[in-house]
Structure 1
Amino acid sequence: MLDPTRIKAISLDLDDTLWPIWPTIERAEKVLHDWLAEHAPMAAALFSSPAALREIREHMASRRPDLRNDLSALRRESIRLALLRAGEDPLLAEAAFEAFFAERQRVELYEDALPALEFLSRRWPLVSVSNGNADLARVGLSAFFGASLSAREFGVGKPDPRIFHAAAGAAQAQAHEVLHVGDDATLDALGAVQAGMQAVWLNRGGHPWPHEGEAPPQVASLTQLCEWLGQGA
């Protein structure tokens, strides 16, 4: 059971916890395609083919396993490969990626996200822990967080316990004193528990727990999480 009296800090996932990620990625990919259509039309044609795009990404992932935790670099190098295959200037990859990345930061928060961040940050130090490539400063939420850890910068991602332990250290707390909150049952909830933290699974869709053993506490919204924590504070 959740024990709020033990909590000295809270770590939070970002994508699909504070905002839905796929609408954001779809918009960013459209911006990327439009940019390529103007500056590198042959590469844009490659990106119009789902099969070709999938093959490029799979090829790059297999060719550069060192980038598996760096989604930005993997995306950038995939663009570069598409440009090369299309006979376009590979130096355009940087500007093309920046067009994508700028739109990727234009997230639309869940309605409960901002009130929850205001509530939680007044009571506990907050640390973000993400396998994605959101930039909290560009998103506009950095003021709520004392630290931000990403798989890209740290070198390993969730559910590796090292990134959870680093989050606890960034909050000047022990792992068992940190509550981790995230939407992914494996990467967030199970990973945090195995790292020695308390965990709450943010299960907006009402999905069944996919692992053996008892599920950690789960909430359907961040509002419900704040109500739980407020009652125990």
Structure 2
Amino acid sequence: MLDVTRIKAISLDLDDTLWPIWPTIERAERVLHDWMVHNTPMAATLFSSPSALREIRDYMSTNRPDLRYDLSAVRRESIRLALYRAGENPLLAEEAFEVFFAERQRVTLFDDALPALEHLAQRFPLVSISNGNADVGRVGLARFFRASISAREFGVGKPDPRIFLAAAGAIDVQPEDVLHIGDDATLDVLGALNAGMQAGWVNRADHLWPHELQPQVTLAHLGELADLFR
């Protein structure tokens, strides 16, 4: 059971907790492809091949383990490799990535996200914890968060307890005083529980809980989280 009397801060996942990620990524990839059609047409042809893209991703995973927690670098270097293989100028990778990245920040929040953030930010310091490459400033949500911790900058991602401990330290509270909220049963919930936090699972699609260890609270949407503190 959730002990609301212990909560002094809330940490939040971003992708698929505050907004759906795959519509965002798919739109950003379409914008990138359109840019390539006009600027690097040979690479655009390569990017139209699912098998070629899969091979590039496999290559990056095998040969650049140092980029494991930096999705931006993985994306940028994958573009660079595609440009090189297509006979295009690999120096255009930076510009191409920025086209993708700018569109990736244009998220559409779940209907319950903004009202919940507005309410919770008045009650608690909030900190974001993400394995992804969303930028809360560019997304337009920086005013709600006291701090933001990303796997790319920290060098370790969820579910490693260290990134949760870093989030607690960033807002000057103990881990046991933090409630972490996220959609991923393993990365968010188990990671937070193993770091000594309380954890809430955002289960928008009514999935079955897959682990023996249980979250303190399960939420169908973030409005239910806000209601806990009214």
Q: TM-score range by the shorter chain?
A: over 0.9
Q: Which amino acid aligns with 1:80?
A: R
How far, CA to CA, are the matches of 2:207 and 2:229 in structure 1?
Answer: 22
Aligned length: 230
CA offset at residue 227 of structure 1? 1.0
Distance (Å, rounded) in 2 between the aligned partners of 1:214 and 1:83: 46
- Superposed CA offset, 1:103-158 (max 9, x none): 00000000000000000000000000000000111100000000000000000000
Partner of 1:138: 138
**What CA distance in whole angstroms lies between the structure 1 residues aligned with 2:73 and 2:81?**
12
CA separation of 1:113 and 1:183: change in aligned 2, threshold 3 A:
same
Please give the TM-score of this superposition, normalised by the length of structure 2: 0.98
SS of the residue 2:179 aligns to? strand
Amino acid at match of 1:223: G
- The CA deviation at 1:218 is 0.4
Separation in structure 2 between the aligned mates of residue 203 and residue 126 of structure 1, nearest angstrom: 20
Structure-1 residue corresponding to 2:16: 16
What stretches of structure 2 of length at least 5 have no aligned partner?
none
- The AA in structure 2 aligned to 1:35 is W
Residue 74 of structure 1 aligns with which residue? 74
Match of 2:209 in 1: 209
Q: 1:1-233 to 2 correspondence within 5 Å?
A: 1-230=1-230
Matches of 2:118 and 2:212 in 1, distance apart?
A: 35
Q: Give the letter for the 1:197 counterpart.
A: M
- How far does residue 215 in structure 1 lie from its aligned partner after superposition? 4.3
Answer yes or no: is the 8 Å Cα contact 1:80–1:93 preserved in 2. yes
CA distance in structure 2 between the partners assigned to 1:57 and 1:29 by the alignment: 15
Q: Give me the whole-angstrom Cα distance separating, in 2, the residues matched to 1:211 and 1:227.
A: 26
Identity of aligned residues (%): 72
Query: Does the 8 Å contact 1:189/1:216 carry over to 2?
Result: no
Distance 1:2 1:28 in 2: 38
Task: Give the Cα separation in 2 of the matches to 1:33 and 1:54.
Answer: 16
State the distance in 1 between where 2:28 and 2:181 align. 26
In structure 1, distance between residues paired with 2:73 and 2:143: 26
How far apart, CA to CA, are the structure 1 residues paired with 2:212 and 2:226? Answer: 27
Partner of 2:210, secondary structure, is coil
Counterpart-to-counterpart distance in 1, 2:10 and 2:171: 8
Tell me the TM-score normalized by structure 1.
0.97
CA distance in 1, matches of 2:229, 2:84: 53
Q: CA RMSD in A?
A: 0.8
C-alpha displacement at 1:62, in angstroms?
0.9
CA distance in 2, matches of 1:229, 1:122: 11
Per the TM alignment, residue 211 of structure 1 is displaced from its structure 2 partner at its CA by 1.1
Give the partner amino acid of 2:78. S
**Secondary structure in 2 matching 1:148:** strand
